[in-house]
A and B are shown apart, each in its own frame.
Chain A
Amino acid sequence: MSLAHSSLAAPLRTALVAIATLLLFAAAANARIYIAIDTPGVRPVPVAIPTLRVTDKARPTYGEPSPHLIIADILRRNLRIVGEFELLDPRGYLEDPQLVPLVPDSDSFSSWQTAGAELLIKGQVDRSGLELVVEFHAYDVIRREFLFGKRYRGSDETLGSMAHMFANALLENLTGEKGPFGTEIAYVVRVGKSKNIASVEVDGSNPRWITRNPSLNLNPIWARDGKSIYMTTYYGGNPDLCRFHIPTGKLRYVYRDEGMDMPGQEDATGNEMLFTSSIDGNMDIYKMDMKTRKAKRLTTDRSIDVSPTWSPDSQKIVFVSDRKGNPHLFVMDADGGGARRITFSSNHNGDPAWSPKGGQIAYTAMDKKGAFQVHIVDPEGKKSTQVTFGDYDTHDPSWSPDGRFLAVTSNKDGKEAVFVLRLGINKLWRISPEGQQANQPYWSHGPVVR
């Protein structure tokens, strides 16, 4: 069935895309399995993900990694944390994927139904020259219907990406909103007296170092290009704002002075970035033109003003200020005017993070027992909702690009670690490796470029 698409004329390609789009919409409209995006976990869909079939050409020889096992495992780990699905234990699967065709027949559907599956993900790994070709099918077991399929071409190195893309496509198909897989979460790890920046995938896979130096490196914020991280580093003896470029391992100072400098985000265009500095005597919020490197001061209070975060349209900025006595959240215009307080209950609030969809601001507030909890408030400050509970501290929220998750810091298991919190079911999954003291997670905008 494979078509050498490179030889197709452009009009034909366009036509094929149009047809595929129509078929895709038709398939989605027919699907009985549909999950409302804001009600995960109300009734998780039981899903079976058997090991992928492997063709003779792709079958690994003894001692080689087995892509068909690896990719199924990655996909399972991805879908496990989502909340929309109940992953059925592979030990309960009755059929051997290598002995049955890729497309299930009615006996096969019966077998999966007996196993309790309502959604079935099947797949096949093939090799074409140097390329690894991975195909996934999604089936509605109850209706015995093909829902949709995807084929990815890559290599053994891109198995993770292919699994992530399919997990995203599956979520998009069933909920209308694609998943966050393929992105990464940067965070801070204490090693002795130093703190360094590391990064980990959404489900806790592949933790790796970004910086390795003997200093304090704090406040990681991803640049929009996916190649760099802004941070505060004490490497030069003083806490300065720098940009660490991952592909080259180079660290460049963005803003240095004698006092404290902390990064904020780049705006939606990447032309301006927010930061905080004590250059004018106390911590204030500034906006820097990334081309001219000129900074404009946005707050002038004698109070502490920190943690500025853009709204998704870069029209507003939420930040923390103790101008009313205690640290509270305020929202101001992009030019620094019109600041309005939006938190009123707790007397210690911080870590604001504006949701990618715009309507919500996640933040941290100290409760009456002195524990820190994550809350979500609208940008007008009309209604605040607590989303974490417990005697332990949960703080530092950072949104996933799809708005489903928050990455947070919590000491629920003793020492501080980074978790992902699935909003709606409010379940925490630890993603920083066991044994690491980790905090300050910051979710990337897209895939990280190395």
Chain B
Amino acid sequence: MQKILATTLAAAVSIMLITGCGGSGEVVDTTTPAETTTQEPEATKATKPVAKPVEETVSKTGSSEVTAAQKNAQAMSAAAKAKLSEMTRIYFEFDKAQITSGAADTLKQNAAILKAVPGVKVIIEGHCDERGTTEYNLALGERRASAVKQFLVDTGADAGRLTTISKGEEEPAASGSDEQAWAKNRRAEFKVAK
């Protein structure tokens, strides 16, 4: 706040307040930066060019602090990749992360594929349909991915090869706002870690 005030002073731009009765329009100089807090708090803002229509924000999110995902240490053969791509996605009920009996059968097959291709790491992605709030769905996707991971680990998969990520409702598999689309979007997918 002190800094803002100092900047304001430096700008030496002032706002004058005109007031009066009966249409006289008497002009009274009232404002200095130190006094604006009591008189006209918003007036101080005129002193800073907060609106710069021509200014473009330079957005370099690609700064060096942000590194890309670490490469999978294990080099893998094309055959292994092809095998892992056979891991089938599973589906969930609305607002649920429980593994249905149908999904359990699929996951057992997926676990067998994982076992057949040792060493390669797999990412489990949790997804939601569009209903529900963004943040809740990000949490629900996380819960779904974790439930799948836990099931695979219980089936004998190596937990160290499995990571989870939630995509919430952000990457739908099917577009549309009906139960048919929603059912396809409440899912967990399996991706080979890069």
Contact = CB atoms under 8 A, between A and B. Distances in A.
B29 A149 contact: no
Which size class do A's interface residues fall under?
Answer: 35 or more
Nearest to B166: A260
A354 interface: no
A322 B137 CA distance: 12
A188 B16 CA distance: 39
Contacts of B16: 2-3, 5, 150-151, 153
A26 B21 contact: yes
The residue in B12, B14, B19, B49 that gathers the most chain A C-beta atoms within 10 A of its C-beta is: B19
Given A16-B30, A153-B13, A249-B59, A146 B136 contact: no
Contact of B51 (A6, A24, A159, A252): A159
B180 interface: no
Interface in A417-450: 439-440, 446-450
Contact of A440 (B13, B47, B134): B134
B35 interface: yes
A283 B135 CA distance: 10
The residue in B69, B135, B163 that gathers the most chain A C-beta atoms within 10 A of its C-beta is: B135
Contacts of A103: 23, 25
B23 A149 contact: no
B31 interface: yes
B57 A209 contact: yes
A145 B18 CA distance: 14
A326 B68 contact: no
The residue in B47, B61, B62, B69 that gathers the most chain A C-beta atoms within 10 A of its C-beta is: B61
B82 interface: no
A96 to B, nearest CB: 20
Interface stretch (B84-92, B107-115, B140-148, B151-159): B140-148
A249 B25 CA distance: 46
Contact of B139 (A135, A246, A249, A304): A304
A5 B32 contact: yes
B58 A282 contact: no
A137 B69 CA distance: 59
Given A244-B61, A350-B132, A304 B140 contact: yes
A236 B29 contact: no
A218 interface: yes
Given A16-B30, A208-B57, A145 B22 contact: yes
Nearest to A152: B46
A20 B134 contact: no
B138 A260 contact: yes
Contact of A24 (B19, B65, B164): B19
For chain A, what secondary structure do more than half of its interface residues adopt (helix, strand, loop), or is it mixed? mixed
Contacts of A253: 65-66
B61 A13 contact: no
Interface residues of B, number: 72
A22 to B, nearest CB: 9
Contact of B57 (A21, A104, A150, A450): A450
Interface stretch (A40-48, A162-170, A375-383): A162-170
Nearest to B142: A260
B73 interface: no
Nearest to A366: B131
Interface in A138-180: 139, 144-146, 148-155, 157-162, 164-165, 168-169, 178
The residue in A232, A235, A372 that gathers the most chain B C-beta atoms within 10 A of its C-beta is: A235
B104 interface: no
Nearest to B123: A237
Interface in A1-52: 1-3, 5-6, 8, 13-14, 16-17, 19-21, 23-24, 26-27, 30
B23 A236 contact: no
Contacts of B134: 218-219, 396, 439-440
Contacts of A150: 15-18, 43
Contacts of A158: 46, 48-51
A152 B35 CA distance: 15
Contacts of A113: none
Interface string B24-43: 11111111100100111011
A135 B20 CA distance: 14
Contacts of A3: 16, 29
A148 B50 CA distance: 25
B46 to A, nearest CB: 5
Given A218-B170, A327-B95, 11 more contacts: A5-B32, A20-B28, A27-B19, A150-B16, A152-B15, A158-B51, A160-B50, A213-B59, A259-B142, A304-B136, A306-B135
13 contacts: A17-B31, A27-B19, A27-B20, A103-B23, A149-B25, A154-B47, A158-B50, A182-B50, A251-B65, A322-B136, A327-B95, A350-B132, A450-B57
Question: 9 tightest A-B contacts by CB?
Answer: A237-B69, A149-B18, A160-B51, A350-B133, A3-B29, A20-B30, A1-B27, A283-B139, A151-B16
Interface of B: 12-32, 35, 38-40, 42-43, 45-53, 55-63, 65-69, 95, 131-136, 138-143, 146, 163-168, 170-171
Interface of A: 1-3, 5-6, 8, 13-14, 16-17, 19-21, 23-24, 26-27, 30, 102-104, 131, 135, 137, 139, 144-146, 148-155, 157-162, 164-165, 168-169, 178, 182, 193, 195, 206, 208-213, 215-219, 232-233, 235-239, 244, 246, 249-253, 258-260, 262, 276, 278, 281-283, 304, 306-307, 320, 322, 326-327, 348, 350-351, 364, 366, 370, 372, 395-396, 439-440, 446-450
